[in-house]
Structure 1
Amino acid sequence: MASIKTRNEILQYDLRYHGVRIRESSGLKTNRENKRLCEAKLRKILAEIDIGIFDPVDHFPNSKKLRKIFGVESCDAEVEPSISFETFAEQWFVEKRVEWRYSYMKTIRGTIDKYLIPTFGETPVEEITKAQILEFRVTLAQLAGKSAASTMSPSRINHIMTPLRMIMVEAADRYGFVSPWQNIKPLKEPRVQVEPFSFDEVKQILRRVRQDYRTYYIVRFLTGLRSSEVDGLKWEYVDFDRKQILVREALVQRRMVPTKTDGSMRDIDMNSMVLDALARHKRGAEGCSEYVFASSTGQPYSNRYVTRCIWYPLLKQLGLKARRPYQTRHTAATLWLASGESPEWIARQMGHTTTEMLFRVYSRYVPNLTRQDGSAFEKLLAARFSRSGSERHDFLRDKSLLKTHLNGI
């Protein structure tokens, strides 16, 4: 069925000829007048097809795809050579890397070199099909994951597919072909496991951890800082007068970089326990390093070393379930919620722009945060209609009387 469609606010012809789907841009912006012009041209095309005189290249002379399919390469017309996926991917990477943080750039570079170029390298970008992309994804799903007994996770696969999608969409836009990335949705990822520590578990950890790491874990458990934020924390960002930690930088892959997002740049209020611990820590580390938590050489803690040599051995010694150090951030959120702190305040401390994530991720760990059994309304009624003894009891049990009083409010 031939039709006129819109793509990126430009009218596009969509029809089939000799089993080939022709989707070509009209170059006209979407409006009523231009659509009438395109419809008139489409009627002419269909009439030419009916009487056998239709020449695709005559109607779409700038289409390299049609020139190639319908054998125009042999004529004297100049046809630009196709660009391979590898060549375009390298060009795209150079153009985009100025927008990215070093860690993200390194991740994308690794994905291109390890997965994308070996699969699509010499293939012209306009010849890559949706079927090839889906086949590539199936291949990824069969590769080994973090352990030999598992396969690559949906999350990892989605992270590999993302730069492929970006490259193909940009190539299609730049070279005038229709991107094969049509209705390819990301794989469904399981919800992130949030396993915060209880208050008693936090106390056990802080009592038993090595003394030289106690302040480090006090800050992690009671401020909600991300691993990269606490590892890269500098003394210049600890404001003892205002009792705040200023989050301005993070340590990612041994490099100091700006915070993850604009929302991540925030001022965290220090409670008395954090304030006292950092004050003692500063007196013992005066002049040793610009970093709050540093080794004897003045360099910031190695997250890998601390995790493997301090964190997991401590949990094992205490008989606690092994959990990633990032759970200290989740713990701070749940402890704040359980203590009745304002969700808006908690969101600011965590670096979230709204409270949506708090209630979506953490509320199930705080059973009294939101009552769902009607008891809160019952307490409101009891306070609103203050009665004594059995009279109040009978009032709350008698539904007909309750209805009468509610109608009178």
Structure 2
Amino acid sequence: MASIRVRDTTGKLFFDFRFQNTRCREQTALDDNPVNRRKLEGILKRIEAEITLGTFEYSRYFPGSSNAKKFGKKAASVRDDHETSLFKSFGELWFQEMQIQWRKSHSQTVAATLKNYIYPWFGEKEVGCIDKADILEFRSSLAKVTSRKGKGLSATRINHIMTPLRMILSEAANRFNFSSPDAGIKSLKVPRTDVEPFTLEEVRLIIESVRPDYRHYFLVRFFTGLRTSEVDGLQWRFVDFERRQILVRQALVRNELVYTKNDGSFRTIDMSEPVYQALLEQRRATGNFEFVFCNRSGSPLAHRNVTQRVWHPLLRHLGLRARRPYQTRHTAATLWMAAGESPEWIARQMGHTTTEMLFRVYSRYVPNLTRQDGSAFENLLQAQFNRG
């Protein structure tokens, strides 16, 4: 571990770090005090970063040192000798550089993935020496890991774990000038899963049967298509009763208000009459608080608590198939499509930038709701064959 230390005999500070498997100690003329320590710690961070990237020039920092002569030109770029840093060292630098682009929740997810899966396997390997066989072996090992529920990791989860590994190797390949070993390795095929929207009759049954204090919450979810994080993070300042609009500007993720999922999610939802009336009534209950749906202290609802204590018990009571509350969003899309709303309008309400996902995911449910698709062709056939 690199550090700034003080020599007992002189009281002067010196650098203590490792370079090319060699311990290096470089003396300074600075006295030991907080100002000088901060100054040298800043220099040491740059040195460590350059060592990790393979661009450290010993003589530039310590021109009069005997170590500068020892390492010579070879130290100017360890890449010339095809030497690269350890995977963990480079991974930590990559994480620091990328973290500014991510939500806090995503940073936590990536950090956990690196710590629990990737570093234990690749951490002590030289990043430039990792090959395709290493990656495939690692991916195979993930298939044998069991989750907390005792189940094996899904293909989706394995692909998510592989993503930061691919990104780190790709960035290292660019900086150290070698071919990324993950080229040609395709992501695992993920089985397609159907959405499971509720019928309009089931929606009516749920809203009429749910606890009164959650009736408005679920009505808004069913008829706006809001995501769980969006409805939980909805504040009164984003409800425009005059224009009858809900402004989706933020989401509640891990108890933190963050920017919407993507630019398309930053949107305006038109209130239907039931939603408008529900929010008017809800304002009487929580209008003095910041959040539209909150507990008695004004804190936003904990969605896991709502799911386990309200949602699943209600579905069991009504004899309905168990589904995640997120299916309320899918239900809104299918009901809008069944009603004949413009696909472009629906896409905007959902936060999709195009209509492609609507037709790919939801269109098959429309015939089940309207019983009209294909009827024109069927009438043509009946007219033709009934002539005789």
In the superposition, the TM-score normalised over structure 1's length comes to 0.72
Find the counterpart in structure 2 of residue 37 from structure 1.
Answer: none
1:285-344 per-residue CA deviation (whole Å, 9 max, x = no partner) reads: 231x11000111110000111111111111111111110110000000111111111111
Separation in 2 of the partners of 1:370 and 1:111?
48
Find the counterpart in structure 2 of residue 96 from structure 1.
Answer: 98
1:260-306 per-residue CA deviation (whole Å, 9 max, x = no partner) reads: 0110011101000010010011022231x110001111100001111
Asked if the contact 2:84/2:176 (under 8 Å) is kept, the reply is no
Find the counterpart in structure 2 of residue 78 from structure 1.
Answer: 74
Alignment of 1:161-200 (within 5 A): 161-200=162-201
Find the counterpart in structure 2 of residue 306 from structure 1.
Answer: 306
The CA deviation at 1:193 is: 2.9
Asked if the contact 1:84/1:122 (under 8 Å) is kept, the reply is yes
Separation in 2 of the partners of 1:190 and 1:106?
27
The CA deviation at 1:192 is: 3.0
For structure 2, the residue ranges without an aligned partner over 5 or more in a row are 1-53, 55-70
1:184-217 per-residue CA deviation (whole Å, 9 max, x = no partner) reads: 1100111133000111111111111110000000
Separation in 1 of the partners of 2:94 and 2:318?
50
The answer to whether the aligner puts 1:135 opposite 2:145 as a matched pair is no
Whichever residue aligns with residue 304 of structure 2, its letter is R
Whichever residue aligns with residue 177 of structure 1, its letter is F
The CA deviation at 1:82 is: 3.0
Higher Cα Rg: structure 1 or 2? Answer: 1
Identify if the C-alpha distance between structure 1 residues 394 and 124 changes in structure 2 by more than 3 Å, giving closer, same or farther.
closer
In the superposition, the TM-score normalised over structure 2's length comes to 0.76
Separation in 2 of the partners of 1:112 and 1:242?
47
Asked if the contact 1:337/1:369 (under 8 Å) is kept, the reply is no
Identify if the C-alpha distance between structure 1 residues 211 and 177 changes in structure 2 by more than 3 Å, giving closer, same or farther.
same
Alignment of 1:107-146 (within 5 A): 107-145=109-147
Separation in 2 of the partners of 1:301 and 1:393?
57
Separation in 2 of the partners of 1:135 and 1:280?
58
Identify if the C-alpha distance between structure 1 residues 126 and 213 changes in structure 2 by more than 3 Å, giving closer, same or farther.
same
Identify if the C-alpha distance between structure 1 residues 304 and 366 changes in structure 2 by more than 3 Å, giving closer, same or farther.
same
Asked if the contact 2:286/2:293 (under 8 Å) is kept, the reply is no
Separation in 2 of the partners of 1:395 and 1:365?
29
Say which SS state the counterpart of residue 268 (structure 1) adopts. strand
Separation in 2 of the partners of 1:342 and 1:317?
36
The answer to whether the aligner puts 1:266 opposite 2:262 as a matched pair is no
Alignment of 1:282-293 (within 5 A): 282-287=283-288, 289-293=289-293
Match of 2:149 among 140, 147, 150: 147
Identify if the C-alpha distance between structure 1 residues 98 and 376 changes in structure 2 by more than 3 Å, giving closer, same or farther.
farther
Runs of 4+ in 1 over 3 A off after TM superposition: 368-374, 376-379, 392-398
Identify if the C-alpha distance between structure 1 residues 245 and 369 changes in structure 2 by more than 3 Å, giving closer, same or farther.
farther
Asked if the contact 2:196/2:330 (under 8 Å) is kept, the reply is yes
Separation in 2 of the partners of 1:376 and 1:117?
61
Find the counterpart in structure 1 of residue 217 from structure 2.
Answer: 216
Q: Percent identity?
A: 54
- Paired residues, number: 312
CA RMSD of aligned residues (A): 2.3
